[in-house]
Structure 1
Amino acid sequence: MLKLKSLCLLIVVLILSGCSTSTKGYVRPTLPANLSEPCPPIPELDTDSWDELGKAHIELAILYGECAAKHRVLMR
């Protein structure tokens, strides 16, 4: 009977000691300054040339890709 009481006491002590551990609070990491900047404005096109339209489209795609990459980093 003494062994059973000792075993129960040991189990209770181990359970209570396992529940008493605390964890550190979450610390939010600071963001680099370049990630908090807004995306650049869309450049305006003042010509009717198809070549200029194509170049402007490529520039816009590059700007969007860079801005989207910045925001993807924020979501990780």
Structure 2
Amino acid sequence: MEITGFHSLNDLFAQLGLDSEDAAIEAFLDRHHLSGQEQLSEAPFWSDGQRRFLKEAIQDDSDWCEAVDELDTLLRH
């Protein structure tokens, strides 16, 4: 997967405790989608810890925010 900013999408999946291999990420993206105005951190498929991490990454404009934004975009296609 593509590297964005400080962290790659693979790094983000590893940080979230998910399988970070390219094939696993593609499978995740095939199974999960965001609709309309649904916020990434509010999606029902995250655990509480994952949800908190994603929300804080954006709110704090952390070095994870570019990878989180990329994930958000990919889940809307």
Q: TM-score range by the shorter chain?
A: under 0.3
Give the TM-score, by structure 2 length: 0.27
Tell me: higher relative CO, structure 1 or 2? Use CA pairs within 8 A at least 6 residues apart: 2
The structure in which a higher percent of residues are strand is: 2
